[in-house]
Amino acid sequence: MPQACIFSDRRAAGRALGAELAPLGLNDPVVLALPRGGVPVGYEVAQRLAAPLDVLVVRKVGAPGQPELAIGAVGRGVTVSDDDTLALLGVTREYFEAAAGQERLEVERRERMFREGRPPLDLHGRTAILVDDGLATGSTMLAAVGVARQLGAAQVVVAVPVAAREAVARLAARADRVVNLATPEPFAAVGYWYEDFTQTDDAEVRSLLRLTAPEPRLAPLGSG
């Protein structure tokens, strides 16, 4: 293993992250993994916590001519706008709504593909544990925090195996708690800290979600 690597792969990172989260005694947790790379990590976390696993598909809404600059986000039927940035850039509400509408279609497409007909988990009053395989800038995770709050989560915890120090600071200002196993410097990139950082494909995401899907409840014998 190269000296830089901390984790052998995403599943190993998830087991280590789950061990870190387990003693915290989080109330009524739901693990929400950011696809695709966050799902193998989130699967192991959910197993350790005996918590349900779901995906949280989030799309940033980019500024005109600057798609990497987020002016808001959409996810699971909610839209979050960064009104301060909209005002600073002079972005009209009409532009924002149109751009958000396009991203919303992609969110819906991906959620249908990953869930295969299963309904999303209800977050109201629960602790949402947002999991990814790492944080470089933290922009997508910031959007996810906003979406989770809009969906009714009582507490939002960001949990990642590795992150840039600046990203952790950004998330700490928005989430209720940030659990991060390593903040190496210089950071370089998320994949640098994994021995195996093979891209997670859609089939693996669906497979892991199926493994954690609750079994249908059968009616008691003699009922009806």
CATH number of the domain at 32, please. Answer: 3.40.50.2020
Q: Both tokens of residue 209?
A: 């979600």
Residue 215 pLDDT > 50: no
Residue 219: inside a domain, yes or no? no
Residue 216: inside a domain, yes or no? no
Range of the domain at 96: 10-210
Residue 154: inside a domain, yes or no? yes
N- to C-terminal Cα distance for the chain? Answer: 60
Residue 218: inside a domain, yes or no? no
> pLDDT (tens digit, 9 = 90+) per residue, 127-173?
999 999 999 988 889 889 998 999 999 999 999 999 999 999 999 99
Domains: count for the chain: 1
29: nearest Cα among 151, 155, 126:
126
